[in-house]
């Protein structure tokens, strides 16, 4: 048995490699996948650690119980999604397996990344504008690598936009078609159940902060620093300039 030949009983797991930049919504997507798929994992340092367990304290304690249920008559169909094929948040590369890539508008992504680092991990940033400039560069390089692969092998990559994922369960239906598996719970139910206010525990949170794509627009200090830098052109990725 290995990550390349994982059997769930007598069934060979389907495998995909997964890539996403920090704060693009991976935990939300993973909640959706928990409801749709029989996910299988190998032990690794990214899920079995103190930080991961602390994050769970900010969630509704019943949220994942519901997502682990299944409709009557749905067969087990193990799916192995390697969430760190190049290390945590490593840049996408071509491999032997199909790819799933999650992308989010860079402007709320960078905003969320900054405040999560400050509020949760106590990061100190003496020059926020310089930090922002570098963060936009990292985002652009990450998704340029993904889009280069997509142009070469479009049939082997499934691109998920966070904004579309939150808006419509049709994204989940298309993902199921890409994986060629039957969902254990309906995409419509999973999409409804994983709404932010239903999944997150009420009260102060430092990791599951809000799931809001517009908050950065109303932060005057952030807007002032954003005006000092050149974020770059993200039209290739489907996103416009900050407004």
User: Domain-by-domain residue ranges, the chain?
Assistant: 7-237
7-237: CATH topology: Rossmann fold (3.40.50)
Mean pLDDT over all residues of the chain?
Answer: 88
Contact call for residues 41 and 3 (beta carbons, < 8 A): no
pLDDT of residue 216: 92
Q: Which residues pair with 160 in a beta bridge?
A: 102
Higher-pLDDT residue of 51, 122: 122
Q: Which residues pair with 161 in a beta bridge?
A: 103
What percent of the chain is modeled with pLDDT above 90?
62
Lowest mean pLDDT among 32-46, 98-112, 198-212: 198-212
Place 180 in a pLDDT band, splitting at 50, 70 and 90: very high
Lowest mean pLDDT among 141-145, 161-165, 197-201, 222-226: 197-201
Place 1 in a pLDDT band, splitting at 50, 70 and 90: very low
Res. 126: pLDDT tops 70: yes
pLDDT of residue 46: 61
Place 52 in a pLDDT band, splitting at 50, 70 and 90: low
């Amino acid at each position: 048995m290995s990550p390349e030949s994982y059997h769930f009983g007598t069934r060979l797991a389907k495998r995909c490699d997964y890539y996403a930049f920090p704060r693009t919504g991976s935990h939300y997507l993973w909640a959706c996948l928990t409801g749709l798929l029989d996910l299988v994992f190998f032990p690794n340092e990214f899920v079995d650690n103190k930080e991961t367990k602390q994050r769970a304290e900010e969630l509704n304690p019943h949220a994942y119980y519901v997502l682990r249920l299944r409709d009557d008559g749905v067969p087990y169909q193990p799916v192995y999604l390697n969430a760190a094929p190049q290390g945590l948040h490593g840049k996408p590369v071509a491999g032997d397996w199909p790819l799933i890539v999650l992308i989010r508008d860079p402007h709320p992504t960078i905003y969320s990344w900054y405040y999560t680092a400050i509020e949760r991990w106590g990061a100190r940033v003496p020059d926020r504008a310089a930090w922002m400039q570098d963060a936009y560069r990292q985002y652009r390089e990450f998704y340029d690598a993904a889009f280069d692969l997509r142009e070469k092998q479009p049939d082997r990559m499934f691109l998920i936009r966070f904004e579309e994922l939150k808006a419509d369960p049709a994204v989940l239906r298309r993902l199921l078609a890409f994986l060629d598996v039957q969902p254990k719970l309906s995409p419509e139910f999973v999409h409804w159940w994983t709404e932010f206010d239903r999944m997150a525990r009420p009260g102060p949170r430092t990791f599951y902060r809000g799931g809001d794509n517009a908050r950065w627009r109303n932060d005057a200090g952030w807007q002032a620093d954003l005006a000092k830098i050149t974020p770059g052109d993200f039209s290739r990725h489907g996103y416009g300039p900050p407004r």
